[in-house]
Amino acid sequence: MAATKKKLMRAMAGEVQAVPPVWLMRQAGRYLPEYKATRARAGDFLTLCYTPELAAEVTLQPIRRYGFDGAILFADILLVPQALGADLWFVAGEGPRLSTITSQGDFDALRGVEDIHETLSPVYETLGLVKPELPSDVTLIGFAGAPWTVATYMIAGRGTKDQGPAHALKHENPAIFDALIDRITAATVEYLSAQIDAGAEVVKLFDSWAGSLKGADFHRYALEPAKRIISELKARHPGTPVIAFPREAGENYVGFARATGADCVALDNSVSAEWAAARVQVDGCVQGNLDPRHMVTGGQAMIDETRRIMRAFSDGPHIFNLGHGITPDADPDNVSRMLEAIRG
């Protein structure tokens, strides 16, 4: 098979590139006027996620505007809980709300993994619409939430600062907690596998709250589920790379790729690029890790920091990205200036 020309795929295969591929977490989002226009047409966020023509349109918007090397599917990690039978809605200005899982009865009312495609099939359709529209050098990225992060929302029914309700259930009712993690893990394998069948060339696992798992809990609920998902995906789709993002894992970033089989580890901006180059990039491709605040504040500090990160990771495979999602108050022109600093 001929080697791919796509920069993002080459980085994940271990190639060191003078100009790294670049894309941004949440690159389709409210900082873009064209996103806000399509979002208004959809009416609400979930309608946008489940209307393939509109979801494909917002997936493509940042590619047209900036020419990123990766296009990330427009969807949300909370579609999986909904596909498993949770109620899901978004409260304007606040965020997601879900029915909660706190008892055996709540767990027993969930749907089986085999039922998820009924809800999620529009997402696969979105990928099918995006794929033929992408420039030939742009990589299509699918994604899902990692089991722990998804469980934190399913247990609390909303986003929480310290993931307290999920930690409490883990402690007080480990049987239900473990069963929930297993159900999400199995659903995530099915979901990502279907995304790959529909055209995703790489998939990313977002474990946004991995940082609140410490010691043995990190191993059991962040590392082990990622390892299981990746090994099952690799068995079905041997050539499809996986990016893992155990956000705020700190020291637990070290060895994570080796232990889970991930082809790339995404780094948040709480670790320095110099530290990560020495301790994480030694095992392979890394992604990251500019502080998203720079997309708001811009200026010479943003340029300097962009160049510093590129330099720190220049001896190994690297995908340039932010350390977390770009925020609604970001200035779209700062993204252009950052790209100019990367690509010269």
State both tokens at 125.
Answer: 């359709």
Between CA 323 and CA 63 the distance in angstroms is 20
Taking the complex as a whole, the smallest distance from the CB of residue 72 to ligand CP3 amounts, in Å, to 4
Which positions from 19 to 48 touch ligand CP3 by CB under 6 A, shown as an x/- string? ------xxxxxx--------x-----x---
Which residues make Cβ contacts (< 8 Å) with residue 218, sequence separation at least 6? 210, 246, 249, 252
**Nearest alpha carbon to residue 108 among 180, 159, 205, 36:** 180
Q: DSSP letter at 47?
A: H
Q: Which of residues 131-150 bind ligand CP3 (CB under 6 A)?
A: 143, 145
Please tell me whether residue 243 binds ligand CP3 under the rule CB under 6 A: no
CB of 319 to ligand CP3, least distance (A): 14
Q: Cβ distance 298 to 331 under 8 Å?
A: yes
Report residue 272 as tokens. Answer: 């320095």
β partners of residue 87: none
- 289 binding ligand CP3? (CB under 6 A): no
d(CA 189, CA 14): 25
Shortest Cβ 74–ligand CP3 spacing (Å): 5
From residue 138, how far is each of 70, 114, 261, 301 by CA, in Å?
A: 5, 32, 24, 29
Q: What are phi and psi of 322, to 5 degrees?
A: -85, 170
Closer by beta carbon to ligand CP3, 159 or else 261? 159
Nearest to ligand CP3 of 101, 312 (CB atom): 101
CB of 320 to ligand CP3, least distance (A): 15
The site string for ligand CP3 over 51-80 (x = CB under 6 A, - otherwise) reads ---------------------x-x-xxx--
Q: Which is nearer to ligand CP3, 152 or 312 (CB)?
A: 152
Residue closest to ligand CP3 (Cβ): 208
Report, as residue numbers or ranges, the catalytic residues.
26, 30, 39, 76, 153
Contacts to ligand CP3 by CB under 6 A: 25-30, 39, 45, 72, 74, 76-78, 95-96, 143, 145, 159, 206, 208, 325
